[in-house]
Structure 1
Amino acid sequence: MPPNTTATTGDKPGKSGRKKGRKARLVVLVLVLALIAGVAYGAYWSISTVRASFPQTKGSLTLHGLSGPVDVKRDGNGIPQIYASSDADLFMAQGYVQAQDRFYEMDVRRHMTSGRLSEMFGKGQVKNDEFLRTLGWDRVAKKEYDTELSASTKKYLQAYAAGVNAYLQGKDGKDISLEYAALSFTNDYKPAKWTPVDSVSWLKAMAWDLRGNMQDEIDRALMTSRLDAKQIAQLYPAYPYSRNKAIVQEGQYSQVAGAFQQNGSSSGSGTSTSGTTGSSTSSSTSSSGSALNSQLAGLYKVLDNVPTAVGVNGQGIGSNSWVVAGSHTITGHPLLANDPHLSASLPSVWYQMGLHCRTVSSKCQYDVTGYTFAGMPGVVIGHNQDIAWGMTNSGVDVTDLYLEKLSGDGYLYDGATKAFKSREETIKVAGGKSKTIVVRQTADGMPLLSDRDDELVNVGTKATVDTAAPDRGDGYGVALRWTALDPGTTMDAVFAMDRASNWSEFRSAAAKFDVPSQNLIYADKDNIGYTLPGKIPTRAKKDDGSIPAPGWDSGYKWTGYIPKAALPYEYNPERGYIVTANQAVIDQDKYPYTLTTDWGYGTRSQRITDLIESKIKGGGKMSTDDMRQMQLDNSSEIAKLLVPTLLKIDVGDKDVQQAQELLEGWDYTQDADSAAAAYFNAVWRNVLKLAFGNKLPKELRVKGQCLWVDPASTTGPADDTQKVRECGQRDADQAQPDGGDRWFEVVRKLMNDPKSEWWTTPKTGTRPGATDNRDDLFKRAMIDARWELTAKLGKDIDTWSWGRLHRLFLKNQTLGTDGPGFLQYILNRGPWKLSGGEATVNASGWNAAGGYGVVWVPSMRMVVNLGDLDKSKWINLTGASGHAYSAHYVDQTGKWAKGELLDWNFSPQSVDKNTSDSLVLKP
């Protein structure tokens, strides 16, 4: 992101000024080399630039604005527990402490949410800023703060901002973090004061990454250029309700206008949530098919480049949570587990802490601990003195894309031309000229995303581009309707959940959680529950939200929102447990509203359910460690389906047969040291490429993705090298499915049709010939997988292991990805060899389109013991600190990779017993 910091110019003898300049540059170089040397020799503690940014964690310091003293107690992992006597003091101290540990991360986040990354990192971020300005997260957050949030929430946000700014006061960049010291080599950026809106904006970024099925809308629309409706439906099969249970099964529903009865019978008719192309397919694509495909293909590129907040740009990620009633636990009280699956980031997206009022009263209302985001007050996931809760992404459909017909300065709507709302946005660029763009929105507030790509605005141009708005054009455009672009009350919900003491209060708090819509599980000492919150749109009969709709027809508009009282929930179900892992919320036949057409397919959720039932049906009782062990389950459901068939195939080659024999007796567990897991996942990846790679539209193809490595890196004999080279030729310009549990379901259904056209492949090069049935394709995939792993891991299969392929690298998300090499060396960590895999409970996800490396992870893990809160356990992906040389930068990662959990201290006695550093903040 930042410009190169090491460029120098020569000097000539006798030029004293140039010698001084060169000397100054050499001083910088010496400092840089000192930083690098510090890693190797442990000398970094003596480097003033690094040492200056470390937080004070002992003794006392004055914090102007406090009404009384605040204690900050950190355990051996640097995790802070804050004790105060008023709400305002509590959240002011939270802001101060988070800024101590993570301000650089907070600063980058607010620049992302406001579309101002170019101010920090220069011209390389201008395109991203243009798109983020078009979405206008900070503008929505400002309106949300001004008009929607309660007075108490505003008070807490103001106190938090005051704490952050108290930390910043009098500090230069180098006093805050190493990254600022690096940035100062190339620009004069200085952090500005924190504002309450900076905190609220982060909720919009989180909602963006968890936005639901927008990518599926685009994919299905693009598929229509090459596939018919039946083929598309095969790639988006119906949710398997009979095999993978929905979350709400025994179903308690609120009585809303007589719509529901106690056990799920409905007076409305369910709308199918199977993967169909939807009624809007023909309407939107037949009238302007090429324009739509061109627009959406261009949008692909724009979306891929947008920085991620917590997820992987809305693709592939999931989460696990489950709660078990006291009747099935050894303590006689509920146990609750949660592990959200998000992008691997350094530092972790989560920040662990406790917020404690010395005495809970109307003056000071909080005694809560858990995970939050640096930059946001309160606790997002965790427990207080009475209740615990967890979250997984619900996946409900809260976004729709509309193809707009542009006409002059407006767009067509029901036969008339309507004017766009437009505004100018000026993007400041570090080390460069500012750029002004024009953002256009429809009358009902939908931003025109297609204005943000030069290729998009040229599609279907019918008139000269308006010189006053050089980044827009006529023809067709793509607009976005998204619930998060409307002001909401999610920030109110966070504080209300933190205060809740029972199910009724928790449900009331959850009702304020507008975006992103999450599955919320609940436990108190005696009860368990689930509720689905969120602002979820209803659509006209013409549209099911599965594909971009024609914006010029009012028949495709949203018609309102599902009444919050009508959203599904469950309380103390007879079965004694609740599982949420991104599966369907409720059976489509038991609910009158369409929540989405694109659920996760329930692979993880059903595995968790099976593990719970295997324990309790035999009369066993769940323990905290049982919950932890379930989080580490590495079983591959797709392997259970395919391996019996793979073992029956005569591969006709002794080297391939040797690899095939790894699967004999394999228990389908994807441990890091498993050679069988390595081979099977290579076979699965090749099956996907062969069956689907050359049949999908070119717009979905991933350029240059090769299943094998560059021939220069192979250690095999000459014939192996030739096979690797042919792979590079064959795989160029081919699509590749990501390999998630939707593809599990696709292949599961095709297994019963061994002559399906999907199993056909052409002959390529000297590799195995064309295939026209399932078993021939599987044979070819096993052969290809053998040579792929030969190239990657060597010919001796005794040296193979899944962990050698499946590795986690943790990268600082700014200078650690695009900064100079020495900074990447300083800031990044890894690799770790991981167990688990795609759609397993231990979901160390990988994307078959790009390789076996870990892409998303259980970003944290927790198990709450409602019988004794001090016996609860937790772990973070990295550590409490965002300072690269801190002892708490990645001190939890090794334990996390092994599946270990830390003690989670809550009571004052337990916190005091385990306090390592104590700091008093004085007024």
Structure 2
Amino acid sequence: MPRPLRWFTRVLAVLVTLVLVLAGVLVYTVRRSFPQVDGSLRLPGLKGNVEIYRDKSGIPHIYADTAADLFMAQGFVHAQDRFYEMDFRRHLTSGRLSELFGKATVENDKAIRTMGWRRVAEQELSELSQQTQDYLNAYAKGVNAWLSANPNASDRSLEYSILKIQNGGYQPEKWTAADSVSWLKAMAWDLRSNMEDEIDRSLALTKLPKERVEQLYPDYPYDRHSPIVTEGTVDQGRFDQRAEPRLRAPRALSQAAKTLDAVPSTMGTEEREGIGSNSWVISGEYTASGKPLLANDPHLSPQMPSVWYQAGLHCRKITEDCAYDVTGFTFSGVPGVIIGHTDKIAWGFTNLGPDVADLFLEKVQGDTYLYKGQQVKLETRQEQIKVAGGAPVTITVKSTRHGPLINEVMDDARPSGDANAVALQWTALTPGKTADAVFALNKAGDWEEFKAAASLFDVPSQNLIYADTTGKIGYQAPGRIPVREKGDGTWPVSGWTGEYDWNAAPIPYDQLPSVEDPADGFIVTANNAVIDPKRYKPLLTKDWAHGYRSQRIRDRIKEALKKGPVDAATMSAIQQDTYNGFADTLVPALMQVDLAGPSGEARQLLKTWDRTQGLDSTPAAYFNAVWRQVLVLTFNDELPEGARPAGGDRWYDVVGRLLELPDDPFWDDVTTKNRKETRDDILRQALASAYQELSDRLGPEVKSWRWGDLHQLELVNGSLGTSGIGPVEAMFNRGPLAVAGSKDAVNATGWNVQSGYEITAVPSMRMIVDLSDPDKSQWINLTGASGHAFHDNYWDQTSAWARGELLPMYSKPESVKKAAVHALKLTP
């Protein structure tokens, strides 16, 4: 063998050996943190034995004799699979991310500390029932038992091994009950109301007169899209289903917007219009089994791992001390089940979206603020933020009677003008009972117990749908919703006059809309209006989703009922519906525009399009590209960046009205000189620009375009997945995957027209509960049970989720044990 070749062979051999050694070390490090799921483990603090059965998807079902043991075991199991996620979340919700990641997250921490989520959570603990406190402490005991058994970074998860390189001194502290309650504040933040709409209106007002801004916020189309509740009103101080109604931004605001942007998202998307959900329930009168069917799919930001964790919590014998037999979707870090079913009832959530937050413009002078002609002392507190690898940062949080001054935490904030500060008043900054509500829901056995549990659900305010094994279906709107002295919550208001203050008491729970066994035989919620304000006077909000999803679901249900009784397959098919509700309005207008050349040929795709948005649809690819261009060309020239359209069904109605006004000023491109564009000019340009964009991205052959080639999902780890270090991100992120649907289709895979077609919001899980037999229920999670990268259950449900498939949702002991591939016993 020639000498150079021998040297090359030796070097290659050494390199291969090093690669194999490093790969072995990586595999060892990765697998070392995988949980034990078989055999037996001692768990100090248990009163009796606990059994945990897992199916091939790693979904655990926990069996215990006492509630304390049940929730302690849940804490242990959550920690086994998701402790890093839990630890990251508690740092996020307490404004302590900088302890992990250094100065890069200081601005995030400033915003969270100003909100005071952790402070409110700690105050809330003492107001919860003793039983709830006991369960939270039992859960924490289970988490800490796992933590004590896994003291080394490599024992806990791969993330800690990597974090140790940057922050070698970090050691996670013990879990506490306040850590769990704080996560409920994060959930409330991401499912809050129209705060961004208030800011967007004010930002738009800096460029446009008020009447033109109001064009961008049309009223809900009650004549075309049914609200959730179509009967009843408040009568004699209570909502009565049978009753009928009687006839009758300054600069500081921009800084406040920056503060709100600095609050990291935990469940939602950067553009608030992506937040949504679908749920509906059909009476057994119209189902094949004779019992109700209930469906739910909350729309949240895609995360790795998914925000949800599937589990079953079962008392071996239902007693007063152990009253739980519940299966559903949980949050790692929080005991109990958030959405799911017991052996008697099922429930689902969608975001009601009432206006529970207002921005008050304040006049601050020194350490005081003006209120009703008097200078009132500001409340202040110091917050110290520890920074890994750097010096601590101290901020002073100032508050008025309306809440914290959210513009005060930005380094570049220099308020000016009459209103020089902005306070945030938000219902979640007052201690509440939501943790009590979770445990009450989990053991409710009938409609009255369910309503009693819902009355405790303060924040976030949700649409709750219900079904039970007796055949009853229902809807309840819970939550702490403010009553204003004046105003409708759509614009920031002056705080110094006191005329826009909130009443001391919110809308009474008994006056919130509620329906049981409606005449239609079904109930649909999809972030649409709850009830027509002509029939219901307390203000909930004016900023609803505009009902395109909800009406499509209603129409699909009615179509199905004409063919006979519905079943779970019908429910699943509706969840997968990709119909574009605006195409019937926009396509005819596009077809009337004079157009020649290649873009004219592309437009022919829309002539025979069935309006669905499947992966292989060529017309869907072109239509969505055109829609994107219509919004950008029509509005970006006049609206400031923060107020530009992201898409969604409010903009369907805005553009729908403009199509009838060919010379409306919005059609004119104000950046062109000596020319006034009309509707047809913009539509023609949109058709041409969309053709050019897709030709550049997908090639000039129109027939080869596919919606799935544009509309793709990246699953990004919430912390290390955005590190900017390619090899690290590759360890934790997954994708891309082509996914059907679109924003405000029933299969609501949202995207932002300002940035592209990449998916920013998804049905984060799907569930269909059959009240005739719980074991006939079905579910799917976006990713998987495990938070450990490279574990078999890290994202094993994703492909099935993308195809619209569901997994069996077993809950009976015999079915759970039959499906189990792992069994672990925890002993005292």
| TM superposition score category, shorter chain reference | over 0.9
**CA separation in 2, counterparts of 1:150 and 1:517?**
20
Give 2:68's aligned amino acid: A
Choose from 182, 186, 191 the match for 1:210. 191
Q: 1:886 corresponds to which residue?
A: 791
User: Does 1:760 pair with 2:704?
Assistant: no
| Residue pair 2:274, 2:299 contacting (<8 A) in 1 also | no
1:575-654 to 2 correspondences below 5 Å: 575-616=520-561, 618-653=562-597
Q: 2:158 corresponds to which residue?
A: 178
Q: Deviations over 1:558-610 (max 9, x none)?
A: 01310111000110001100000000000010111110021110010000000
Q: 2:321 corresponds to which residue?
A: 363
Do the aligned partners of residues 637 and 315 (structure 1) sit closer, same or farther apart at CA in structure 2, a change above 3 Å counting?
Answer: closer
Q: Give the ranges of 4+ consecutive aligned residues of structure 1 lying more than 4 Å apart after TM superposition.
A: 29-35, 259-262, 762-765
Do the aligned partners of residues 260 and 626 (structure 1) sit closer, same or farther apart at CA in structure 2, a change above 3 Å counting?
Answer: closer
Do the aligned partners of residues 911 and 424 (structure 1) sit closer, same or farther apart at CA in structure 2, a change above 3 Å counting?
Answer: same
Q: 1:402 corresponds to which residue?
A: 360
| Residue pair 1:297, 1:699 contacting (<8 A) in 2 also | no
| Residue pair 1:537, 1:562 contacting (<8 A) in 2 also | yes
Choose from 129, 135, 145 the match for 1:156. 135
Give 2:756's aligned amino acid: G
Do the aligned partners of residues 293 and 667 (structure 1) sit closer, same or farther apart at CA in structure 2, a change above 3 Å counting?
Answer: same
Instruction: Report the Cα offset of residue 828 of structure 1.
Output: 0.6
| Residue pair 1:264, 1:591 contacting (<8 A) in 2 also | no
| Residue pair 1:260, 1:266 contacting (<8 A) in 2 also | no
Q: 2:512 corresponds to which residue?
A: 567
| Residue pair 2:437, 2:456 contacting (<8 A) in 1 also | yes
| Residue pair 1:247, 1:579 contacting (<8 A) in 2 also | yes
Q: 1:681 corresponds to which residue?
A: 624
**CA separation in 1, counterparts of 2:254 and 2:636?**
17
Give 2:747's aligned amino acid: N
1:268-667 to 2 correspondences below 5 Å: 292-313=249-270, 314-442=272-400, 444=401, 446-456=403-413, 458-460=414-416, 476-525=420-469, 526-541=471-486, 543-559=487-503, 560-616=505-561, 618-653=562-597, 655-667=598-610
Residue segments in structure 1 that go unaligned for 5+ positions in a row: 1-28, 270-291, 463-474, 702-735
User: Does 1:695 pair with 2:638?
Assistant: yes
| Residue pair 1:200, 1:376 contacting (<8 A) in 2 also | yes
**CA separation in 1, counterparts of 2:291 and 2:87?**
42
Give 1:878's aligned amino acid: T
**CA separation in 1, counterparts of 2:440 and 2:797?**
30
Do the aligned partners of residues 179 and 93 (structure 1) sit closer, same or farther apart at CA in structure 2, a change above 3 Å counting?
Answer: same
**CA separation in 1, counterparts of 2:18 and 2:815?**
43
Q: What secondary structure, in the 3-state scheme, does the structure 2 residue paired with 1:451 have?
A: coil
Q: What secondary structure, in the 3-state scheme, does the structure 2 residue paired with 1:481 have?
A: strand
Instruction: Report the Cα offset of residue 368 of structure 1.
Output: 0.1
Give 2:501's aligned amino acid: K
| Residue pair 2:741, 2:749 contacting (<8 A) in 1 also | yes
Instruction: Report the Cα offset of residue 619 of structure 1.
Output: 4.7
Instruction: Report the Cα offset of residue 445 of structure 1.
Output: 6.0
Give 2:557's aligned amino acid: I
Do the aligned partners of residues 331 and 260 (structure 1) sit closer, same or farther apart at CA in structure 2, a change above 3 Å counting?
Answer: closer
Choose from 743, 768, 781 the match for 1:876. 781
Q: Deviations over 1:36-76 (max 9, x none)?
A: x75xxxx68x7221121100000000000000000000001
**CA separation in 2, counterparts of 1:860 and 1:651?**
43
Q: Deviations over 1:884-905 (max 9, x none)?
A: 0100000000000000000111
Q: 2:7 corresponds to which residue?
A: none
TM-score by structure 2 length? 0.95
Give 1:665's aligned amino acid: T
Q: 1:708 corresponds to which residue?
A: none
| Residue pair 1:763, 1:770 contacting (<8 A) in 2 also | no
Q: What secondary structure, in the 3-state scheme, does the structure 2 residue paired with 1:670 have?
A: coil
Q: Deviations over 1:863-883 (max 9, x none)?
A: 000011101000000000000
Q: Deviations over 1:516-550 (max 9, x none)?
A: 00000000021100000000000013x11111110
Q: What secondary structure, in the 3-state scheme, does the structure 1 residue paired with 2:254 have?
A: helix
| Residue pair 1:670, 1:835 contacting (<8 A) in 2 also | yes
Instruction: Report the Cα offset of residue 305 of structure 1.
Output: 3.1
Q: Deviations over 1:737-792 (max 9, x none)?
A: 11110000111122222222222225769xxx956322222111101111111111
Instruction: Report the Cα offset of residue 103 of structure 1.
Output: 0.2
Q: 2:748 corresponds to which residue?
A: 843
Q: What secondary structure, in the 3-state scheme, does the structure 2 residue paired with 1:504 have?
A: helix
**CA separation in 1, counterparts of 2:351 and 2:191?**
7
**CA separation in 1, counterparts of 2:635 and 2:544?**
21
Choose from 239, 242, 245 the match for 2:220. 239
Instruction: Report the Cα offset of residue 33 of structure 1.
Output: 6.6
User: Does 1:805 pair with 2:710?
Assistant: yes
**CA separation in 1, counterparts of 2:445 and 2:416?**
58
Do the aligned partners of residues 181 and 91 (structure 1) sit closer, same or farther apart at CA in structure 2, a change above 3 Å counting?
Answer: same
| Residue pair 2:712, 2:738 contacting (<8 A) in 1 also | yes
Do the aligned partners of residues 216 and 31 (structure 1) sit closer, same or farther apart at CA in structure 2, a change above 3 Å counting?
Answer: farther
Q: 1:725 corresponds to which residue?
A: none
Q: What secondary structure, in the 3-state scheme, does the structure 1 residue paired with 2:690 have?
A: helix
**CA separation in 2, counterparts of 1:700 and 1:835?**
28
**CA separation in 1, counterparts of 2:358 and 2:671?**
40
Residue segments in structure 2 that go unaligned for 5+ positions in a row: 1-14
| Residue pair 1:634, 1:835 contacting (<8 A) in 2 also | yes
Give 1:738's aligned amino acid: A
| Residue pair 1:267, 1:592 contacting (<8 A) in 2 also | no
Q: What secondary structure, in the 3-state scheme, does the structure 2 residue paired with 1:780 have?
A: helix
1:784-863 to 2 correspondences below 5 Å: 784-863=689-768
**CA separation in 2, counterparts of 1:492 and 1:690?**
49
Give 2:732's aligned amino acid: L
Q: 1:133 corresponds to which residue?
A: 113
Give 2:96's aligned amino acid: R
Choose from 75, 87, 90 the match for 1:95. 75
**CA separation in 2, counterparts of 1:917 and 1:30?**
37
Do the aligned partners of residues 217 and 461 (structure 1) sit closer, same or farther apart at CA in structure 2, a change above 3 Å counting?
Answer: closer
| Residue pair 2:239, 2:513 contacting (<8 A) in 1 also | no
Give 2:265's aligned amino acid: T
Q: What secondary structure, in the 3-state scheme, does the structure 1 residue paired with 2:662 have?
A: coil
Q: What secondary structure, in the 3-state scheme, does the structure 1 residue paired with 2:823 have?
A: strand
| % identical aligned pairs | 52
| Residue pair 1:388, 1:864 contacting (<8 A) in 2 also | yes
Instruction: Report the Cα offset of residue 676 of structure 1.
Output: 0.7
Do the aligned partners of residues 783 and 31 (structure 1) sit closer, same or farther apart at CA in structure 2, a change above 3 Å counting?
Answer: farther
**CA separation in 2, counterparts of 1:514 and 1:268?**
31
**CA separation in 1, counterparts of 2:646 and 2:664?**
21
Choose from 612, 617, 621 the match for 1:669. 612
Instruction: Report the Cα offset of residue 232 of structure 1.
Output: 1.6
1:702-781 to 2 correspondences below 5 Å: 736-761=644-669, 772-781=677-686
Choose from 28, 34, 40 the match for 1:54. 34
Q: 1:199 corresponds to which residue?
A: 180
1:902-913 to 2 correspondences below 5 Å: 902-913=807-818
Q: What secondary structure, in the 3-state scheme, does the structure 2 residue paired with 1:205 have?
A: helix
| Residue pair 1:256, 1:566 contacting (<8 A) in 2 also | no
Give 1:677's aligned amino acid: A
Q: Deviations over 1:440-498 (max 9, x none)?
A: 112x3611101111332x12289xxxxxxxxxxxx711110000000000000000000
Q: Deviations over 1:262-281 (max 9, x none)?
A: 44533585xxxxxxxxxxxx
Q: What secondary structure, in the 3-state scheme, does the structure 1 residue paired with 2:736 have?
A: strand
